[in-house]
């Protein structure tokens, strides 16, 4: 009877426990998913060490039959000496292997921490042994975004590093905080505090793997964010140092809303400042707001972006741009892009983008960043670029960037330019390659006197040879690189008249041919 009572009591308690466990199953599963993700990261780092220990342990056992459980007995006089030492060694190896396979229950400050960065630094010398002039935007067309090839054409030191920390909540939700710090100077000195442009470029937090979205097919893989940041899906032509599209500012949004199997969406609201133009009691601290819809189709191969821009106070009162015209208080911007994961069937990649903007959207690259634009401003831009191997040890990266815009800052102004660029690399051995770059730009610019600039029409070209050292060979974007270079550039003499404040037309930088030499490092990780 007593046994029966105990069985009944055990059954009741077991049922109660099962109900309690079922009630908390969702929380426990979410917590388990978070712990599993952390364990996977630790396991990946320790896996090679564990396998090495296992191989060493197996070799010891195979080379010493006395350690095998099924091995026949060995005479005590033979085994007496090696067995204790081998037993101790095996025990230590097994203990180490076991400790590696068991995840630590103690968190560390470095768990979930990541450090990413980009930097370049170099010396540029002209053929008169003076300071070189250059930069991807050094030509007259550069004043409206017309970049040329950057190889052997940069004289600055620029760095940016991103620090991030990931934290998992008990319900499995992951938060990620990121801060990005950048600085850029053109001084060659080691101490450049007076010239420094040190700046916090990003500070934002993201939430993903959100527990409340579990089981919802539309939002399950979504990421929420708020703060100051660059848009995650910006992309650029690295060889020209030109973004194809660059959305940045302070605000918030959501990424990866899964509309259906082949369609995902991003939405955001971002603010920017044009400056404080208040006077005579009129408040004109001008801010602009960018409402963005970014749609991706066919596993991300096709992208359609649309931006609506508003800056209500941009034309308030007596506010004018630098040409004396009332600037726009709104604008539209759109982009259609194709992202190929191959180079027309070959190894590599190829991207195409067509952009259009009007009003405040006529700055088609840096969306919503130019408060000088007129209501009638219109701009259209085409970007094409990619990379592929062309022969054993040879890789090529062609690119095209072109734009036509009108009524930008002065009624009747007109800007037309086109850049063709080709980066080529030849692998000599596992640490050395010869890099080459040919860049050509044509332009027809009529600024109608804006900023005392003159109408010009002409061409520019540059050719660079750069012996390059790197840790290992790869594609054209493998870094770091340590390079020496020599560049020859020339342009139409008409371009020297464009502006008195630009590089062109200076006594040491005018049409007729300019040689420049230098050394540079570039890295990212």
pLDDT tens, position by position, 453-474: 999 999 999 999 999 999 999 9
Task: Please list the ranges in the chain whose pLDDT falls under 50.
Answer: 1-25, 65-83, 99, 101-106
pLDDT score, position 472:
96
| Contacts (Cβ under 8 Å, ≥6 apart) of 371 | 274, 275, 286, 288, 311, 314, 321, 327, 360
Sign of the Cα torsion 224, 230, 231, 235 reads negative
What tokens were used for 440? Answer: 């050509």
What tokens were used for 8? Answer: 């009944």
User: What is d(CA 206, CA 229) in angstroms, rounded to the nearest whole number?
Assistant: 11
Maximal C-alpha separation, the chain: 112
User: What is d(CA 345, CA 366) in angstroms, rounded to the nearest whole number?
Assistant: 32
Q: Which position has the token pair 């409402």? A: 291
What pTM, to 2 d.p., does this model score? Answer: 0.80
Among the listed residues 147, 66, 77, 80, the one whose alpha carbon sits nearest the alpha carbon of residue 439: 147
User: What is d(CA 30, CA 168) in angstroms, rounded to the nearest whole number?
Assistant: 10
pLDDT score, position 176:
98
User: What is d(CA 376, CA 398) in angstroms, rounded to the nearest whole number?
Assistant: 34
Domains of the chain in sequence order: 7-68+78-101 (no CATH), 123-524 (2.40.170.10)
What tokens were used for 310? Answer: 């508003």
Backbone angles phi, psi at 274, to 5 degrees: -100, -15
Cα dist from 439 to 175, 419, 425, 448, whole Å: 44, 7, 15, 28
User: What is d(CA 223, CA 216) in angstroms, rounded to the nearest whole number?
Assistant: 13
Residues 373 and 367 sit within 8 Å (Cβ to Cβ): no
Among the listed residues 261, 283, 260, 284, the one whose alpha carbon sits nearest the alpha carbon of residue 274: 284
Backbone angles phi, psi at 427, to 5 degrees: -75, 125
User: What is d(CA 471, CA 473) in angstroms, rounded to the nearest whole number?
Assistant: 7
**Peptide bond preceding 480: is omega within 30 degrees of 0, i.e. cis?**
yes
Backbone angles phi, psi at 94, to 5 degrees: -65, -40
pLDDT score, position 47:
62
Backbone angles phi, psi at 393, to 5 degrees: 85, 0
Residues 218 and 212 sit within 8 Å (Cβ to Cβ): no
What tokens were used for 50? Answer: 């564990």
Burial of 45 (0-12, 13-18, 19+ CB in 10 A): exposed
Burial of 81 (0-12, 13-18, 19+ CB in 10 A): exposed
pLDDT score, position 14:
47
| Contacts (Cβ under 8 Å, ≥6 apart) of 68 | 61
């Amino acid at each position: 009877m007593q046994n029966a009572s105990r069985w009944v009591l055990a059954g009741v308690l077991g049922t109660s426990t099962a109900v309690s466990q079922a009630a908390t199953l969702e929380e426990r599963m979410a917590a388990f998913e978070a712990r599993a993700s952390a364990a996977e990261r630790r396991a990946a780092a320790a896996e090679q060490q564990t396998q090495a220990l296992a191989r060493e342990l197996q070799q010891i056992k195979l080379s010493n039959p006395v350690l095998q459980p099924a091995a026949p007995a060995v005479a005590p006089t033979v085994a007496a000496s090696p067995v204790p030492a081998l037993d101790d060694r095996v025990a230590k190896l097994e203990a180490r292997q076991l400790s590696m396979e068991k995840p630590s229950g103690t968190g560390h400050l470095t768990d979930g921490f990541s450090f990413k960065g980009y930097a370049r630094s170099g010396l540029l010398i002209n053929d008169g042994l003076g300071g070189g002039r250059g930069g991807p935007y050094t030509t007259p067309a550069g004043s409206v975004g017309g970049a040329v090839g950057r190889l052997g054409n940069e004289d600055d030191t620029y760095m940016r590093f991103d620090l991030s920390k990931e934290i998992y909540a008990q319900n499995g939700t992951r938060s990620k905080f990121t801060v990005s710090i950048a600085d850029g100077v053109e001084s060659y000195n080691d101490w450049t505090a007076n010239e420094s442009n040190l700046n916090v470029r990003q500070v934002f937090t993201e939430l993903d793997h959100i527990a409340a979205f579990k089981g919802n097919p539309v939002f399950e893989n979504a990421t929420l964010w708020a703060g100051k940041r660059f848009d995650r899906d910006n992309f650029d032509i690295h060889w020209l140092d030109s973004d194809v599209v660059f959305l940045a500012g302070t605000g918030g949004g959501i990424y990866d809303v899964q509309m259906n199997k082949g369609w995902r969406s991003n939405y955001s609201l971002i603010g920017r400042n044009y400056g404080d133009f208040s006077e005579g009691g009129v408040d004109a601290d001008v801010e602009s707001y960018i409402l963005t819809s970014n749609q991706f189709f066919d596993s991300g191969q096709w992208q359609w972006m649309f931006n609506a821009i508003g800056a209500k106070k941009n034309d308030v009162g007596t506010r004018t741009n630098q040409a004396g015209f009332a600037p726009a208080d709104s604008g539209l911007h759109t982009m259609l892009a194709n992202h190929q994961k191959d180079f027309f069937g070959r190894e590599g990649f190829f991207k195409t983008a067509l952009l259009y903007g009007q009003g405040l959207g006529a700055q088609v690259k840096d969306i919503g960043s130019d408060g000088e634009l007129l209501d009638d401003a219109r701009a259209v831009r085409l970007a094409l670029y990619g990379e592929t191997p062309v022969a054993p040890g040879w890789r090529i990266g062609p690119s095209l960037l072109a734009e036509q815009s009108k009524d930008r800052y002065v009624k009747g102004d007109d800007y037309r330019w086109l850049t063709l660029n080709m980066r080529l690399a030849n692998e000599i051995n596992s640490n050395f390659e010869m890099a080459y770059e040919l860049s050509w730009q044509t332009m027809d610019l009529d600024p109608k006197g804006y900023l005392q600039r003159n109408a010009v029409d002409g061409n520019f070209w540059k050719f660079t040879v750069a012996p390059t050292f790197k840790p290992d060979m790869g594609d054209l974007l493998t870094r770091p690189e340590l390079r020496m270079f020599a560049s020859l550039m020339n342009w139409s003499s008409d371009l020297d008249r464009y502006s008195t404040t630009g590089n062109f037309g200076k006594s040491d930088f005018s049409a007729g041919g300019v040689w420049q030499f230098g050394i540079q490092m570039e890295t990212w990780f």
